[in-house]
Chains A and B, each alone.
Chain A
Amino acid sequence: MSTLEVSPAEPLSGQSSHSVINDFSIQVATVNGSGSQTANSVLMRSIFQMGIPVSGKNMFPSNIAGLPTWFTIRASKHGYIGRRKEIDFLVAMNPETAREDVMKLDSGAAVVYDEPLKLSELRSDLHFYPVPFDKLVAPVCPDAKLRKLVRNMIYDGIVAWVLSIEMDEIHTALVKQFGKRKAKAADLNWGAAKAGFEYAAKTFTKTDPFRVERMNETAGKIIIDGNSACALGAMFAGVTVVTWYPITPSSSLVESLIGYMKRFRHDPETGKATYAIVQAEDELASIGMALGAGWAGARAMTSTAGPGISLMSEFIGLGYYAEIPTVVFDVERVGPSTGLPTRTAQSDILFAAFLSHGDTKHPLFFPCSPEECFSISIEAFEFAEKFQTPVFVMTDLDLGMNNWMADPFEYPEKPIHRGKVLNAEDLEKLGGFARYKDIDGDGVGYRTLPGTNHPSASYFTRGSGHNDKAQYTEREDDYINNMDRLAHKFEVMRQHVPAPVVRIADNAKIGFVAVGTSDYAVRESCDQLKNEYDIDASYLRLKAYPFTEQLTDFIRSHERVYVVDQNRDGQLLGLMRLEYDPELIAKLRSVRYYGGLPLDARTITDEIIRQEGK
C-alpha cells in the first residue's frame, strides 16, 4: 500500500465513451476532526436510499484531530459489500495526502479536489473537478467558526451532480442524520450541499464514466454498525450487569448499549433500572466484576479489545475453572501490544481460545454481519449460562465500527433459559447438591445463587483445586476427575455451538474456511475465481469454536482447503491443526492478510491463483 504506482500517462480527451453504473468505489480523503463523518454518512446513505447496495469503511488514525482520514464508499450492483482496493472516484480534501492519493489512482479515475491544491498538474490520465470550497462556503455559512464543518457538505453536492445522486435523497439522508432536534444544523448543511450541486451544474462538463442509477436492492434494509448490533443483542438477551473499560474499537459497543438501556430498560412505573452498567477502573476490574455478577446470577458481560483481553487472562482462567458464566466481546484490532488501535484484524483467535495459564479452553463465537452480531450475541448469553463458562464473541474493528447494510433483526422467539440453577424449593426436594457433580452426563453441574434461602444452598467458589462438592483438595484423583469433566463439557459444546454456513460448489476441488468479516471478501473471491479462472470453490464459514463435525466433513470432501486469516501467523489455521489428524492437516493451506485494512477479494483471489499454480 505504501509504494506509489504511477499509471502510464494516457491523456484523456473529452467525454467518456462508456458508463460505469452502480459499480465503483469513492474515497473521501480528509483530516480527522473536520466533521467529514456527517458528509460521508449522508453520501453513503443517499446511495443506499436509491436502492443500490453500498458499504462504507472509515480508515481513521488513533488521534482526535489533525491526522489524515479516508472514508471509502463502495456501490455494487452485484451486492458486494467487502472492501475493494481500487479507487475510482477520489474526493481530495486533505492537502497532506492529496498528491499521494492522486498518484495511487488507476488511469481513468475521477478526482474532486480543493482547487488551491492544483492536483490536475500531477496526472493527465484522470478526470479532474476542481472546487473552490472556501469561496463556496462563505456565503452559505455566515458563521466563520462553523465553516470548517459545513465545508465538507459542499462535496456531497458536487459528488451528487457528478454521479447523478438525487438531491432529494441527500436531503432525506441529512434530515435523518441530524434528526428533528437539530433542524437548524440540517438546514445549514443542506444549503452547503445545494451550493455544491449548483456550482458543479454551472461549471463542469461530466467527463468520467461513473454514475448511479436507481435500483431496488435495499428496500426494507437498515444501516447499522456491528457494535450497536451487539449492544442490541445484549439488551434483548436480557443482560443485567455490564462492566467495561474504554478501548478502541469496542467503546462504542457499550456506549451504544447505554443509550438503548436508558430508553428501554427502566421500569415504566418506578423509573428504576433493570440493569447496572459500570465503567470499571481497568480491564482487570471489568472482567472481575462481570464474573462476580455472573456468579451471583446476573447475565453479565464486558466488552474490550486485544490489550484488554491480555489483562483479563488471569480472571478468565478463574471463570473457566470455577465455571462462571459471562460474555466477553472482543472487538479485535491490530496487535501485538498497542499495535494499530484503529485498524482491523482477526489476531486474537488463538490467544482467546486458550486464554489463561494451565489447561484452559473457551468457546468463541464469530459473527460476520450486524444480523449475526445481534443473534449470536443472544446465543452467547444463553450458551454461557447453559455451560457455565466465559464465552467470547469475536468481532473486529471493520464489523464493529463501520456502518453496514443489513436486514432488520429478528425478534428472539426462544424464551430465556438461565441454565442449571437450583432454587430453595429444588434444594428442599433434593435434600442438597454437589456443585461440580456431573449429574446429567454433559459435564455441567448444578449451581445455586447467593441469597438462596436454604441451609444446603451455600458452596465455596474458588480458583484453587476443588472436588465435586467445591471443597478444597490437592488429591490427584480429584484434580484429574475435575479436569476431565471440564474437557468433556467442552466436547459436549460442539453439539450446541452455532453451526457453520456451508456452500458446496459442484465438482469443487478446493474449499475456503473463514470466520467473521472475511466472509465478504471470500464470497466475492469465489465469484472472481469462477468468472475469471473457471475455478469452483466451496466455502465453509465457521460461526464458532469448538468446531463441529461439518468442518471435518468439509475438509475430507475437498482436495485442498484454504483457511483465510486476517493475521500474520494463520491463527485460525493453527486452531484447526490442533484438532485434526495429519491426513487432514495435509490438506490445509493458508491465505493471510494482516495490513490492518478490511480484507478485499482480490487479495484472496491472487493468492489462490499463485498457490494453485494457474
Chain B
Amino acid sequence: MSTAAPPPPKKVNRIGLEVLNYKGSKTTLCAGCGHNSISERIVECFYELGVEPYTVAKFSGIGCSSKSPAYFLGLSHGFNGVHGRMPAIATGALLANHTLKGIGVTGDGDTASIGIGQFMHLVRRNLPMIYIIEDNGVYGLTKGQFSATADLGSTLKTGVHNDLPPFDCCALALKWGATFVARSFSGDKKQLQAILKTAISHHGLSVIDVVSPCVTFNDHEGSTKSYSYMKEHEYMLQELDFVPSYEDISVEIPEGGVMDVQMHDGSHLRIRKLDRDFDPTDRFAALKMLEEAEKKHEVLTGVLYVNTNKPTFLELLNLDDAPVATLPQSKVRPAKSVLDEVMEELR
C-alpha cells in the first residue's frame, strides 16, 4: 500500500467553482487573435468575482468576434444572433428576465457598420449590460475588408487606402447615454481586467471598445489596429484598481490623485490618474479629449466615463420583481370579471 500524498486541493473561487467552470469550448479563431485574449480575461474576471454562471446570458452578432461567446462561460446560456442586431436580442431577453447579467460581444463591423443603428439605440436606452466591441478595423471572417472604425489613411494588406474617417464607438457611446465607457487593448491584461470587473459591477450600459489586432488581415505596417501601432500610439490615461464588494472596503485610498468610484453593488473602482488631468465623470471633457487624441494619432485607453446614478431602461419600465417571463398564470391572465367588464363597455 503506498501512501501517496492526497491530490492538492482544487483551486476554487468564493462560490466554490473552479476556473474550468467558467471556460467555454475550444476557440476556432486564429492563433494570436486579440479576441482570444479578451475571452481569457472574461473567464478570469467572472471566475475571480465569483459570479454564478447561470445568472449570465451571452449575446453576439455575426463575425469573428461574435463567435467568441462560445469560448467562455460554457455554463451560461448564449445567443449568437444575426449581423449587427445583437442589441435587439439582448434587449428582448433582458425585458423577459431582468435578473440576468447580460454580456454582449461584437466587432467593429457588427457594431459600427450594419449595427450602428441598434448600437445607438442600445446606448440611448442605457440597457444594463456589458457591450464589448472587439475592434480590429477589418472584417476578418470575409477576409479583410475595411470596417467603419478603420482610421483615415490606414491601408489594407493589399495596399488599399482608407479614404473615410472612422466612427469612434466610445465617443458615440459617451454622447448618447452609455453610463460606463472605456477603451482598452487586448494585450493589456491588467487594465482590461479592471475595466471588465467594473463593467460586471456596473448598473447600466457598459461600452468597452477593445483594440484587438487581427493577426491575419490587419497586423501589418499601414494598419492602425496592429500590435506595433498600439505599442507606439497607445496612451494610458490611468492606472486602474478594482476592489470587489466582498473585500475589505476599509482599505485606505492611497493619497494623491486617486479617485474612488463606488459601484452599484458596493465594489470600488480606484482610478489613479497619470500625467494628464482628467475627470471620468465629466462627459464633455472625455469627448473633447477623444477629439484631441484623434488629431494627435493617440489611442487613449482607460476609463473614459462613469456615471452610477442614471436609471437604466429596465428601471423605467417598473417591472415586477420576478422576471415577467416566468410569472404564473394568476399574474398574467386577468380574471373572467375583467373580460366581462370590457365586454360590457363595448355593448
The interface centre, meaning the residue of A222, A295, A453 with most chain B CB atoms within 10 A of its CB, is A295
Tally B residues with Cβ within 8 Å of A.
57
Note all chain A residues with C-beta closer than 8 A to B323: 296-297, 451
Given A296-B93, A451-B54, A451-B99, A272 and B321 contact (CB-CB distance below 8 Å): yes
Given A284-B85, A463-B81, A296 and B318 contact (CB-CB distance below 8 Å): no
The listed residue (A223, A449, A471) touching B325 by CB distance below 8 A is: A449
Chain B, Cβ-Cβ closest to A315: B82
A224 at the binding interface (Cβ < 8 Å): yes
Note all chain B residues with C-beta closer than 8 A to A236: 333-334, 339
What bracket does the count of chain A residues touching chain B fall in?
A: 35 or more
Note all chain B residues with C-beta closer than 8 A to A270: 320-321
Q: Are B96 and A241 in contact (CB under 8 A)?
A: yes
A142 at the binding interface (Cβ < 8 Å): no
Given A276-B324, A461-B77, A461-B79, A293 and B336 contact (CB-CB distance below 8 Å): no
A409 at the binding interface (Cβ < 8 Å): yes
Note all chain A residues with C-beta closer than 8 A to B93: 292-293, 295-296, 450
The 8 A CB mask of A250-291 against B (1 = contact, 0 = none) is 000000000010001101001111111010111011111111
B214 at the binding interface (Cβ < 8 Å): no
Chain B, Cβ-Cβ closest to A228: B346
Q: Are A241 and B92 in contact (CB under 8 A)?
A: yes
Chain A, Cβ-Cβ closest to B115: A284
B4 at the binding interface (Cβ < 8 Å): no
The interface centre, meaning the residue of A273, A299, A457, A462 with most chain B CB atoms within 10 A of its CB, is A462
With both chains docked as a complex, state the minimum distance between the C-beta of B17 and any C-beta of chain A, in angstroms.
10
The 8 A CB mask of B41-67 against A (1 = contact, 0 = none) is 000000000001111010000000000
Note all chain B residues with C-beta closer than 8 A to A220: 347
The 8 A CB mask of A411-427 against B (1 = contact, 0 = none) is 11001100000000000
The interface centre, meaning the residue of B52, B54, B323 with most chain A CB atoms within 10 A of its CB, is B54
B89 at the binding interface (Cβ < 8 Å): yes
B261 at the binding interface (Cβ < 8 Å): no
Q: Are B92 and A289 in contact (CB under 8 A)?
A: yes
B3 at the binding interface (Cβ < 8 Å): no
With both chains docked as a complex, state the minimum distance between the C-beta of A120 and any C-beta of chain B, in angstroms.
40
Q: Are A458 and B54 in contact (CB under 8 A)?
A: yes
**Inter-chain contact total with CB atoms closer than 8 Å:** 222
B5 at the binding interface (Cβ < 8 Å): no
B326 at the binding interface (Cβ < 8 Å): yes
**Cα(A471)–Cα(B79), bound, Å:** 12
Q: Are B327 and A240 in contact (CB under 8 A)?
A: yes
Q: Are B82 and A318 in contact (CB under 8 A)?
A: yes
A33 at the binding interface (Cβ < 8 Å): no
Note all chain B residues with C-beta closer than 8 A to A260: 342
Note all chain B residues with C-beta closer than 8 A to A273: 317-320, 324
Note all chain B residues with C-beta closer than 8 A to A232: 339, 342
With both chains docked as a complex, state the minimum distance between the C-beta of B229 and any C-beta of chain A, in angstroms.
32
B1 at the binding interface (Cβ < 8 Å): no
**Cα(A441)–Cα(B82), bound, Å:** 30
Note all chain B residues with C-beta closer than 8 A to A264: 334, 338
Binds A, one of B68-76, B131-139, B156-164, B235-243: B68-76
Note all chain B residues with C-beta closer than 8 A to A449: 77, 97, 325-326
Q: Are B342 and A272 in contact (CB under 8 A)?
A: no
Q: Are A455 and B334 in contact (CB under 8 A)?
A: no
The 8 A CB mask of B93-117 against A (1 = contact, 0 = none) is 1111101100000000000000001
The listed residue (B70, B85, B96, B100) touching A285 by CB distance below 8 A is: B85
Q: Name B's interface SS.
A: helix
Q: Are B347 and A295 in contact (CB under 8 A)?
A: no
**Cα(A99)–Cα(B176), bound, Å:** 55
A563 at the binding interface (Cβ < 8 Å): no
The 8 A CB mask of A427-463 against B (1 = contact, 0 = none) is 0000000000000000000001111111101111111
B343 at the binding interface (Cβ < 8 Å): yes
B145 at the binding interface (Cβ < 8 Å): no
Note all chain B residues with C-beta closer than 8 A to A315: 82, 85, 88
Q: Are A459 and B320 in contact (CB under 8 A)?
A: no
Given A281-B117, A292-B89, A272 and B318 contact (CB-CB distance below 8 Å): yes
**Cα(A282)–Cα(B120), bound, Å:** 13
Note all chain A residues with C-beta closer than 8 A to B90: 292
With both chains docked as a complex, state the minimum distance between the C-beta of A410 and any C-beta of chain B, in angstroms.
8
The listed residue (A238, A272, A452) touching B320 by CB distance below 8 A is: A272
A494 at the binding interface (Cβ < 8 Å): no
**Cα(A610)–Cα(B321), bound, Å:** 64
The 8 A CB mask of A292-311 against B (1 = contact, 0 = none) is 11111111100000000000
Given A293-B96, A450-B97, A462 and B80 contact (CB-CB distance below 8 Å): yes
Q: Are A240 and B117 in contact (CB under 8 A)?
A: no
Note all chain A residues with C-beta closer than 8 A to B317: 273, 276, 278
Q: Are A296 and B96 in contact (CB under 8 A)?
A: yes
A544 at the binding interface (Cβ < 8 Å): no
Q: Are A461 and B92 in contact (CB under 8 A)?
A: no
A235 at the binding interface (Cβ < 8 Å): yes
Q: In B18-49, which residues have CB < 8 Å from any A CB? A: 21, 25
Give me 28 A-to-B residue pairs in the complex whose CB atoms sit less than 8 angstroms apart, sorted by A's number. A241-B95, A267-B320, A270-B320, A273-B324, A274-B320, A276-B324, A278-B91, A280-B121, A285-B91, A288-B81, A291-B89, A292-B81, A292-B90, A292-B93, A297-B323, A297-B326, A298-B96, A300-B96, A409-B343, A415-B329, A416-B329, A449-B326, A450-B93, A450-B100, A451-B99, A458-B74, A460-B79, A461-B77
> Chain A interface (Cβ within 8 Å of chain B)?
220-224, 232, 235-241, 243, 260, 264-265, 267, 270-276, 278, 280-282, 284-300, 314-315, 318, 408-409, 411-412, 415-416, 448-455, 457-464, 471-472
Complex A-B, nearest 4 residue pairs according to Cβ-Cβ distance, in ascending order? A292-B92, A288-B88, A297-B325, A238-B332
